[in-house]
């Protein structure tokens, strides 16, 4: 299924965030030991980087499967870009959830939420906001409300949030435009589906189960809602060049 997602966008990725209530330990040896364990499982992740607010390990520039992990003060994030299979991305994220509590002394009480983000990037030379407006707003009731004479759309970034009551999961849908699109650069339009489970576990061993539940929910929403009603219309609007 990952190949089919990749076929309709420039890049497809699955990111994970484990957010904590207390700050993580930042001792050099602790972090490096964890990164070494990740590198043993994924040898292509050989690039260590230090930024202002985070320490990161990522695959080299020539790696066909780009993966990354980053540790900040109170969260651990990871991403898999254009995975060959969805299961490859989930396996990577599950590996991080197995390692992080051991190396970083994380307890169930400390876990704030677990988040899974599905992202689609769509390259466009056109004005991003006009593309999104054309794809998602034109010929709707909202379009009628905004139909003022002699105007140009300069900001169209729909964002909606809801609770999936069956699983008490927060779901957010977002379309992100970038100013580079207005200047003619090839920055992408992004479509995000983010699923977030607050206070997800009573035992650290349950994190993998929560990840699997978010993955199942996410795939169902991608196939029934996000791809047909957000990604494909935007892709068609980019191609139309109107």
Q: What is the DSSP string of 180-194?
A: HHHTT--PEEEEEEE
Q: Domain extents for the chain?
A: 2-240
Structure tokens at 165: 């009551």
What is the distance between the alpha carbons of residues 111 and 216, in angstroms, rounded to a whole number? 21
- Averaged pLDDT for residues 73-99: 96
Q: Are 212 and 158 in contact (CB under 8 A)?
A: no
What is the distance between the alpha carbons of residues 4 and 27, in angstroms, rounded to a whole number? 42
- Averaged pLDDT for residues 100-125: 96
Residue 176 scores a pLDDT above 70? yes
What is the distance between the alpha carbons of residues 76 and 209, in angstroms, rounded to a whole number? 18
- Averaged pLDDT for residues 50-67: 88
What is the distance between the alpha carbons of residues 197 and 141, in angstroms, rounded to a whole number? 33
Helices (H) and strands (E) in the chain, counts: 8, 9
What is the distance between the alpha carbons of residues 149 and 25, in angstroms, rounded to a whole number? 57
Residues in the chain: 242
pLDDT in tens, 35-46: 999 999 999 999
Q: Which CATH number fits domain 2-240: 3.20.20.80, 3.30.160.110, 3.40.47.10, 1.10.10.10?
A: 3.30.160.110
> Which region among 107-111, 169-173, 175-179 has the lowest average model confidence (pLDDT)?
175-179
pLDDT in tens, 115-152: 999 999 999 988 999 999 999 999 899 999 998 999 89
Backbone angles phi, psi at 212, to 5 degrees: -65, -40
What's CA 164's distance to the chain center, in Å?
Answer: 18
């Amino acid at each position: 299924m990952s190949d089919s997602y990749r076929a309709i966008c420039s890049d497809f990725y699955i990111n994970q965030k484990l957010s904590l209530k207390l700050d993580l330990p930042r001792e050099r040896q602790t972090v490096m030991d964890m990164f070494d364990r990740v590198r043993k499982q994924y040898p292509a992740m050989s690039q260590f980087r230090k930024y202002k607010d985070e320490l990161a390990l990522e695959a080299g520039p020539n790696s066909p499967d780009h993966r990354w992990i980053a540790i900040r003060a109170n969260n651990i994030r990871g991403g898999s870009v254009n995975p060959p299979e969805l299961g490859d991305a989930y396996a990577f994220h599950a590996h991080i959830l197995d390692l992080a509590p051991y190396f970083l002394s994380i307890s169930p009480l400390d876990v704030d939420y677990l988040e899974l983000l599905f992202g689609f990037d769509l390259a466009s030379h056109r004005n991003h906001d006009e593309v999104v407006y054309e794809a998602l707003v034109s010929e709707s009731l909202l379009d009628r409300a905004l139909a003022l004479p002699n105007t140009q759309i300069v900001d169209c970034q729909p964002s909606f949030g809801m609770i999936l009551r069956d699983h008490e999961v927060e779901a957010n849908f977002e379309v992100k435009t970038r100013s580079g699109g207005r200047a003619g650069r090839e920055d992408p339009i992004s479509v995000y589906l983010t699923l977030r489970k607050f206070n997800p576990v009573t035992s650290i061993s349950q994190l993998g189960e929560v990840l699997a539940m978010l993955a199942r929910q996410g795939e169902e929403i991608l196939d029934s809602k996000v791809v047909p009603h957000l990604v494909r219309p935007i892709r068609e609007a980019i191609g139309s060049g109107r």
